[in-house]
Chain A
């Protein structure tokens, strides 16, 4: 039998290739030059290059490698978000003890690997690349979550993530098997027309397959009741990693979620729409309610992430171009808001002895306005108050929901954001409306970090290196805070972009 190599559109594939190559390069740099800190620089360059290539491809969508991948605006926009998050993560990790412990090279290689997985996932157009992408995304993250080997919590989060995550992907796989069986094809298009036949509409096999896939994806996007790993992992993982995966994972997963459900499973939409709508509502409720009593900022942001996932899912439930646009728009906004918040958390973890406890930001308004403002803005944005991208995003979502006759879900979103105010504003209150705790923080921080006992009394924050000079962290916070604000006032550019995305997905 003869082997004909598939013709490959290298231009289209270039981003993936770039990433794959850079993984190896960074890894090698770590192996052979562990002392010199090349990895971050290399990683940033790799990310920048990939981003450049992606931007270069904007506008001409193409199926790559016999339809395994599809590089279109959806894939590109999501990939760009992912790359941005990764870059921010690199900056936040510069002084990250976790990075030091697993070795800078390996750390960044794994990060890039995960990014590669996400980029693949965003482009995936058949089940195999879908599954591979998902795993390439997850497995490095399992490791990175546990990367802070000296903290039990980090290991715990890694293990939990691994177990539940694998359970999720097993479910996903099983669902894929059913869909493959039902349609006899692994390509999304094939599936679409395979299950589109009259005989298979509402066929239990297909529907169960959909259910299984839905669960798998819902898990990755932390939709309730498959969300429970989220708060724990977010809290346990090293903060930069949390920052990265909080948004990037969601983004990539939602990309394929959209592609798979709104394209491949569109024929069965009438059956799964209501189910997902209910899940979205439940997620909004649980996420917001769960965040209420939290003291740990990371945990709080974890729950809020759950709630936000619920909002975003709304954009998917209404199978429409506008829906996709709204979804991507909100994802981008969410990325900015979240990152601003996490950057501040990172900074405070290192400055005060309070780890990520809410006490860490008490009186921030007086001591560190440059940190206080971004956090404030991001909180307001996440709560969906005007003049932030969060407000516009919610506006957009609500509009598509009402248009898609899901007004009740829109009302649910609104009620959710009312509840959410209770905890977001609690943080703001801590920043501005209470006397400073800073001297407290300093008092501990000034203690030289020797011996394992100091972190114990300091709340296990061996990150509390007391560094004031964290230019890069502050920069990240300020930049993304500013973006949150600016896009809230002049959203039109982002708008036009996401409009193309919606159109690119190609559905009614």
Chain B
């Protein structure tokens, strides 16, 4: 039973992940991510992290993803072209991805940490339920808790200032303005000024 659930969740998570990077249309990518999140929640449950699984579903798959959908809808989910401007990127990216996975896998499998092979110790019921997490959060990780709350506030502010405000002279940015750069120094404003 547990194996089945694991593989189901694993496949879902993986599939979702692949979907995210494979989908041409950002909107589909978002949806793929939602799949991924749900499957992860399953795995969390298997790891007896009930509260987190719930949070995952509610906060993530719920709130955050909705935000994504809105934005994608706002900016318009146009397809990105297949053309690759950076030489070698197409070749190197997968290679690196594989290398990364291999290295991490070796690290995990090669580790002499015996516990890795086990399913973990027997845990008392209530392991990872809201109460436990909450206690820990308010005792040991109080600082983290408070700080992240402030961080949320700041992020909100940031989002507002970036996306929200409309101030005077909100002209389109000077795209492709001739900037002073190493290639071409700016034209000397007055004659006789060696550029």
Q: Which positions in A face B, CB cutoff 8 Å?
A: 1, 3-6, 8, 16, 20, 23-24, 27, 64-66, 68-69, 100-103, 106, 109-110, 113, 116-117, 120, 128-129, 132-133, 135-136, 139-140, 142-143, 146-147, 149-153, 155, 178, 181-182, 199-200, 203-209, 293-296, 299, 353-357, 359, 434, 437, 439-441, 443-444, 452, 455-460
B141 partner residues in chain A, CB cutoff 8 A: 68, 128-129
Give Cα A137 to B157, complex, Å: 15
A102 partner residues in chain B, CB cutoff 8 A: 161-162, 165
B139 A4 Cβ-Cβ under 8 A: yes
Q: Report B22 CB to chain A, min CB distance, Å.
A: 20
B87 within 8 A of A: no
B190 A101 Cβ-Cβ under 8 A: no
A66 partner residues in chain B, CB cutoff 8 A: 139-140, 142
Q: Which of A5, A128, A357 contacts B138 (CB 8 A)?
A: A5
Q: Which residue from chain A places its CB closest to the CB of B160 in the assembled complex?
A: A106
B173 A1 Cβ-Cβ under 8 A: no
Give Cα A259 to B142, complex, Å: 21
Report B162-186 residues with CB < 8 Å from chain A CB: 162, 165, 167, 169-171, 173-175, 177-182, 185-186
Closest 10 A/B residue pairs (Cβ): A205-B111, A143-B158, A357-B180, A208-B107, A459-B186, A102-B161, A459-B180, A440-B193, A113-B154, A204-B107
Give Cα A133 to B150, complex, Å: 11
Give Cα A208 to B181, complex, Å: 40
A129 B143 Cβ-Cβ under 8 A: yes
Interface membership of chain B positions 65-106, coded 1 if the CB is closer than 8 angstroms to chain A and 0 otherwise: 000000000000000000000000000000000000001101
A295 B185 Cβ-Cβ under 8 A: yes
A3 partner residues in chain B, CB cutoff 8 A: 134-135, 138-139
A146 B162 Cβ-Cβ under 8 A: yes
Question: With A128-B141, A205-B108 as given contacts, are A23 and B154 in contact (CB-CB < 8 Å)?
Answer: yes
A203 B180 Cβ-Cβ under 8 A: no
Q: Which of B113, B161, B173, B187 contacts A181 (CB 8 A)?
A: B113
Q: Report A368 CB to chain B, min CB distance, Å.
A: 17
Contacts A143-B158, A178-B107, A205-B111 known; 4 new A-B pairs at CB < 8 A:
A116-B150, A120-B147, A353-B186, A359-B188
B118 partner residues in chain A, CB cutoff 8 A: none
Q: Report A408 CB to chain B, min CB distance, Å.
A: 28
B106 A204 Cβ-Cβ under 8 A: yes
Q: Report A463 CB to chain B, min CB distance, Å.
A: 13
Q: Which of B139, B150, B158 contacts A136 (CB 8 A)?
A: B150
- 13 pairs of residues in contact across A and B, judged by CB atoms under 8 Å: A6-B140, A66-B140, A129-B143, A132-B151, A150-B173, A152-B174, A207-B107, A208-B103, A295-B182, A357-B185, A359-B186, A460-B179, A460-B180
Give Cα A24 to B153, complex, Å: 9
Question: With A102-B161, A110-B154 as given contacts, are A456 and B174 in contact (CB-CB < 8 Å)?
Answer: yes
Secondary structure at the A interface, as helix, strand, loop or mixed, is: helix
A204 partner residues in chain B, CB cutoff 8 A: 106-107, 110-111
Q: Which of A110, A142, A354 contacts B180 (CB 8 A)?
A: A354
Give Cα A4 to B135, complex, Å: 8
A209 partner residues in chain B, CB cutoff 8 A: 107
Question: With A359-B185, A455-B174 as given contacts, are A140 and B139 in contact (CB-CB < 8 Å)?
Answer: no
Q: Report A111 CB to chain B, min CB distance, Å.
A: 10
B55 within 8 A of A: no
Question: With A132-B144, A143-B162, A151-B173 as given contacts, are A456 and B111 in contact (CB-CB < 8 Å)?
Answer: no
Give Cα A462 to B139, complex, Å: 50
B155 within 8 A of A: yes
Q: Report B66 CB to chain A, min CB distance, Å.
A: 20
B147 A133 Cβ-Cβ under 8 A: yes
A182 B146 Cβ-Cβ under 8 A: no
A16 partner residues in chain B, CB cutoff 8 A: 143
B144 A199 Cβ-Cβ under 8 A: no
B157 partner residues in chain A, CB cutoff 8 A: 27, 106, 109-110, 143
A149 partner residues in chain B, CB cutoff 8 A: 162, 170, 173
B186 A357 Cβ-Cβ under 8 A: yes
Question: With A132-B148, A140-B158 as given contacts, are A457 and B182 in contact (CB-CB < 8 Å)?
Answer: no
A68 B143 Cβ-Cβ under 8 A: yes
A205 B113 Cβ-Cβ under 8 A: yes
A128 partner residues in chain B, CB cutoff 8 A: 141, 144
Give Cα A135 to B152, complex, Å: 11
B1 within 8 A of A: no
A359 partner residues in chain B, CB cutoff 8 A: 180, 185-186, 188, 193, 195
A296 partner residues in chain B, CB cutoff 8 A: 180-182
A178 partner residues in chain B, CB cutoff 8 A: 107
Give Cα A16 to B144, complex, Å: 12
Q: Report B147 CB to chain A, min CB distance, Å.
A: 5
Residue of A1, A204, A444, A452 contacting most chain B CB atoms (<10 Å) = A204
B189 A23 Cβ-Cβ under 8 A: no
Q: Which of B132, B139, B189 contacts A6 (CB 8 A)?
A: B139
